[in-house]
Amino acid sequence: MDAFPDAPFGPTDSLELEPVPLAVIRHGGIRISDLRDAFDSGYAAIGAAFAAGTLIPAGPAVAIYHGDPMGVFDLELGFPVQAPPSDPIATGDGTAIVASALPTGQAVATTVFGSYDGLGAGWAGLVARAAEAGLHPRGVWIEVYVSDPDVAPDELRTDLLMPVA
């Protein structure tokens, strides 16, 4: 199963993640309270690189959380791209767009419809269903923002991908 399917995931779908090339902005040691600013500036900077033709998107926006998302964690914000940047692309806020790749290996996934406020419950459900199957999170949490964030909240679709062991 593809990490970026057209159809939504079920309650707990299994998939094998491939190393899809990404262009991302990295943020180290942040907290949930830092997300709005990181998202706003990061996606705007990458959008400017798309508008300039520097990068070509190949899928929806992603956020990859490394570590404990309820504490201090590292974050990669970006998009799948046709070709990742070979050198860092400076942004106006002192960050840089760099090459990355989707983590590889076994994962489980689900889809959450509606406001981003429902993502916590979506994650809790996915973790619980994975645990019932004897699968354990690897400390990487991937959100794929399938729908444009400007649609009505009830029309939002976010796919949650959790690499497992």
Domain ranges of the chain: 13-163
Q: Is the pLDDT of residue 1 over 90?
A: no
Q: Tell me the pLDDT tens digit for each residue of 11-42.
A: 999 999 999 999 999 999 999 999 999 999 99
- Where is 37: in which H helix or E strand? helix 35-51
The whole model's pTM is what? 0.95
Paired tokens of 30: 């942040």
Give CATH for domain 13-163. 3.20.80.10
pLDDT for the residue numbered 94: 85
**What is the residue-wise DSSP string for 117-155?**
GGHHHHHHHHHHHHHHTT--B-SEEEEEE-S-TTS-GGG
What is the C-alpha separation between 97 and 85, in angstroms, rounded? 8
Q: Could you tell me if 88 and 138 are in contact, meaning their C-beta atoms sit under 8 angstroms apart?
A: no
Q: Tell me the pLDDT tens digit for each residue of 76-103.
A: 999 999 999 999 999 988 899 999 999 9
Q: Is the pLDDT of residue 149 over 90?
A: no
